[in-house]
Structure 1
Amino acid sequence: MMANKAVLQIPVTRFINGTSQELNDAIAIEEPLEIRLDYGPSEFRKVQNISVTMRTPGNDAELALGFLFTEGIIKNAQDIKQVAHFFIACAENKENVIQVSLAEDIIPHLQNTERNFYTTSSCGVCGKGSINAIRTVSTFNNEVMDENSVGIDILTSLPDILSRHQKVFADTGGLHASALFSPTGDSLLVREDVGRHNALDKLIGAAIELDMLPLNQSVLLLSGRASFELVQKAAMAGINIIVAVGAPSSLAVQLAAEFNITLIGFLRGQRFNIYTAPHRIL
């Protein structure tokens, strides 16, 4: 179902060794999603636009739930009363809107909605300030979650397992993926999106719906690089082992060290780098 919504066939001219060929090519669909929040007592409900993100259609409820959680706006699935889609004609495009209604007794933490509180390294809020902000709003940062571990043989097998679950990437080559594995290598959840942050929000949103948090007995695999924002989102969900196929950023390493998260980068074949907390790798 996800693959049908996420892929568009378009005509292209392909050149190989100076020879052209007319054919159809599969590309990943990218569309805007506006996330709205409906909250307050029944007689004084308010609707507020929280964010607009460019995403791959599919798993939109998970994306909204994961985004609100990793931004510290909600705490768990019990905060949610209802999630509903709206479809609005927007110029030549169809803009998708999803409205998340909170339970009447839930007060959202809307000071986090400006998106420059701690989530982006380009906002000018970096280092200790941003890390302390995450520590303030995270649900699991005070818990001792250091018992997780994974063997090298399992670790190096994860990219191949992920590739077998990346249906849309196999069709288009244009999506990021976030995957959750057990320490024994069992695939638990996989989500894809044109945005790496959206893919992880969808994954965490699915985990919230399945009542899996905290994710302190699992391994997160990222199909690309490990940025500060992705480590931040993982920390919010209690993840303590993050593995990236690509490189980590300096602030991602700093954040992982502060939260005692095992961060691995450049996982390719039998090679990888351990940047922080190596004690979890057996």
Structure 2
Amino acid sequence: MLNPIVVNQNVILVSRQDNYLQLKPGKKKIIAETLLKVKVNEVSYVTFLCLNEHLEELALGNLYNEGIIDSLSEVERTSIKDDTFSIYIKKNLPAFKEYRRVSSTSAKNFPVVQTERTGDIEPISDNSKVSMNRIWTLMEEFKEQSSLFIRIGGVHSALFYHNDLSIFAEDIGRHNCIDKIVGKLLKLGKLELVAESLMLSSGRISTEIISKVIRLKIPVFVSRTTPTANAVELAEKYNITLIGYVRGEKGVIYSGRERVTD
């Protein structure tokens, strides 16, 4: 059974008053994890720990990001029963995918997945400019969009931005946020906008995250925090502008400096 998004937890509230420790029973709203099993053509493909919303988009986006589908036209039908989401596609699932497992943090068979996802992809050739002032403004707006984080905490978020379309997603895992956005782009038939877009994330930029960005061919990826050294290396190889620690009117450009203007 899929869990609710938020639960009201019995807790003990602790404080110090007049130099004495105070303990008082209370309640605190916290984020609930949902375990979602995904089958592709009746084969167990992936198990997510995720937030119980936009589950179809999560599964479809992950299939795209892993290179299993290239468009929604390859999907015949989907269904959900209890904690299992079933997807039927028009081609066979590669054999090595049968043991893939994903949690809210990362993929367990990462070296295989990363090579599969980025192996045949060419570096981005377009070097269209992006304003740093615009990025700072978007980041400030982005911070205010996650009502769950503001009220409760415990979630990551991501934002896809194009002049004609903006898509926001939140989840307990930063990887899941990107998958959800891609799933929404697939369902809207708007993947062609990616070439002139940028994406913002609340979380650390790992190799797993940047591999999804490479697969999408997003030219600019921005985070409030840091990338890993391997993520920077991949961003440079695929000509992606990678900007971290975007807070206030500051930031750090790790790759793709030529795209950034005032």
TM-score w.r.t. length of structure 2: 0.86
1:196 matched to which residue of 2? Answer: 174
The alignment status of 1:75 with 2:70, answered yes or no, reads yes
Give the aligned residue type for 2:85.
I
Q: Give, in whole Å, the separation in 2 of the partners of 1:24 and 1:263.
A: 41
Give the aligned residue type for 1:35.
V
2:5 matched to which residue of 1? Answer: 6
Q: Give, in whole Å, the separation in 1 of the partners of 2:243 and 2:113.
A: 22
In the TM superposition, what is the alpha-carbon distance from 1:274 to its structure 2 partner? 0.4
In the TM superposition, what is the alpha-carbon distance from 1:163 to its structure 2 partner? 2.2
Instruction: Deviation per CA, 1:118-175: give whole Å up to 9, x if none.
Output: xx687583xxx976543335xxx34855143321111112222112211221222100
Q: Is the 8 A contact 1:226 1:247 kept in 2?
A: yes
In the TM superposition, what is the alpha-carbon distance from 1:50 to its structure 2 partner? 0.1
1:272 matched to which residue of 2? Answer: 251
TM-score w.r.t. length of structure 1: 0.80
The alignment status of 1:259 with 2:243, answered yes or no, reads no
1:97 matched to which residue of 2? Answer: 84
In the TM superposition, what is the alpha-carbon distance from 1:267 to its structure 2 partner? 1.0
Mapping 1:1-282, distance limit 5 Å: 5-18=4-17, 19-38=22-41, 47-87=42-82, 96-103=83-90, 106-115=91-100, 125=111, 133-136=116-119, 141-142=121-122, 145-182=125-162, 188-214=166-192, 215-282=194-261
Indicate the percent of aligned positions where both proteins have the same amino acid: 25
Give the aligned residue type for 1:235.
I
Give the aligned residue type for 1:98.
F
RMSD: 2.6
Q: Is the 8 A contact 1:121 1:228 kept in 2?
A: no
Q: Is the 8 A contact 1:13 1:22 kept in 2?
A: yes
Q: Is the 8 A contact 2:223 2:244 kept in 1?
A: yes
Runs (5+) with no aligned partner, structure 1: 39-46, 88-95
Give the aligned residue type for 1:83.
T
In the TM superposition, what is the alpha-carbon distance from 1:107 to its structure 2 partner? 3.5
Q: Is the 8 A contact 1:156 1:270 kept in 2?
A: yes
CA gap 1:5/1:123 in 2 versus in 1, 3 angstroms: closer
Give the aligned residue type for 1:191.
A
Q: Give, in whole Å, the separation in 2 of the partners of 1:130 and 1:69.
A: 12
Q: Give, in whole Å, the separation in 2 of the partners of 1:222 and 1:187.
A: 17
CA gap 1:144/1:196 in 2 versus in 1, 3 angstroms: closer
Query: Size of the alignment, in residue pairs?
Result: 251
Q: Give, in whole Å, the separation in 1 of the partners of 2:28 and 2:187.
A: 35
Q: Give, in whole Å, the separation in 2 of the partners of 1:192 and 1:5.
A: 15
CA gap 1:115/1:240 in 2 versus in 1, 3 angstroms: farther
Runs (5+) with no aligned partner, structure 2: none
CA gap 1:200/1:113 in 2 versus in 1, 3 angstroms: farther
Q: Is the 8 A contact 1:72 1:112 kept in 2?
A: no
